[in-house]
Amino acid sequence: MNLILATRNEHKLLEIRKLFDFAGVRVQSALDFPEVPEVEEDGGTFEANAIKKASTLCRVTGFHALADDSGLEVKALAGEPGVYSARYAGEPVDYHANNVKLLRELQGVENREARFVCVMALAFPDGRVETVRGECRGRIAAACRGTNGFGYDPLFIPEGHEQTFGELEESVKSRISHRAHAMQQAVTAWKQLLAIPR
């Protein structure tokens, strides 16, 4: 069975590949299919964007396709940056600029509660699409700390920890991240289809 990951983001691809333990599944990415068009992430929810990306890739390649859409929701900002997380500071995507803007928006704000959200969508060649959702709750630090990971990792302190994702060991993040939680849901929901070993 072929499973195509709907991402050209090398950071995200590496992170997802580390979480996969599928037996008998050939895992490729959108990078292996240059004919696949870029999908405009114009949905109002993580679910809508993930479904659109997975469905497009599945339709073009004819293979099962797995897409995710993820981002950061900050309570004091009414859920922003949300689906605009990657482009929070505008185009082109600039992680440092996004972090600077987030810190500026939270200046003087005491409640720094936030959560990372990841929705994964699996599109089937017969047109079906299923989704799972994972979350990681935490808070926003007062300044960027650490160089691990990408995006908002240097600012996000997960619940139960004092270090940011940017400071934590990769092995810790891979167990507790929003993407890890979504992947755990995927394993439960799709293990028979994807022949995941027990």
CATH of residue 54's domain is: 3.90.950.10
Q: Residue 22 has what pLDDT? A: 61
Of the candidates 117, 186, 192, 111, which has an alpha carbon nearest to the alpha carbon of residue 151?
117
Question: What's the pLDDT score for residue 38?
Answer: 85
Q: What pLDDT tens digit does each residue of the chain (198 aa) get?
A: 788 998 887 777 776 766 666 667 778 888 888 888 888 889 999 999 999 999 999 999 999 999 999 999 999 999 999 999 999 999 999 999 999 999 999 999 999 999 999 999 999 999 999 999 999 999 999 999 999 989 999 999 999 999 999 999 989 998 999 988 998 898 888 877 765 443
Active site residue 42: no
Contact (CB, 8 A) for 168 and 148:
yes
Of 76, 100, 103, 78, nearest to 89 by C-alpha is 100
- Whether residue 106 is contained in a domain is answered as yes
The pLDDT assigned to 198 comes to 39
Q: Domain range for residue 152?
A: 2-190
For residue 98, is it within any domain? yes
Among candidate residues 21, 68, 69, 94, the one labeled active-site is 69
Strand ranges of the sheet holding 2-5, from the earlier edge strand across to the other edge:
26-29, 2-5, 64-74, 113-123, 129-140, 156-158
Whether residue 31 is contained in a domain is answered as yes
Number of domains in the chain: 1
The whole-number pLDDT of residue 197 equals 44
Q: Exposure of 65 by Cβ count < 10 A (0-12 exposed, 13-18 middle, 19+ buried)?
A: buried
Q: What does R_g of the chain's alpha carbons equal in angstroms?
A: 17
Given the DSSP bridges, would you call strands 26-29 and 64-74 parallel, antiparallel or unpaired? unpaired
Examine residue 86 and state whether it is found in any structural domain, yes or no.
yes
What pTM was computed for the model?
0.88
Per-residue model confidence (pLDDT) at position 23: 66
In a domain, 196, yes or no: no
Token digits for 179?
Answer: 């993407």
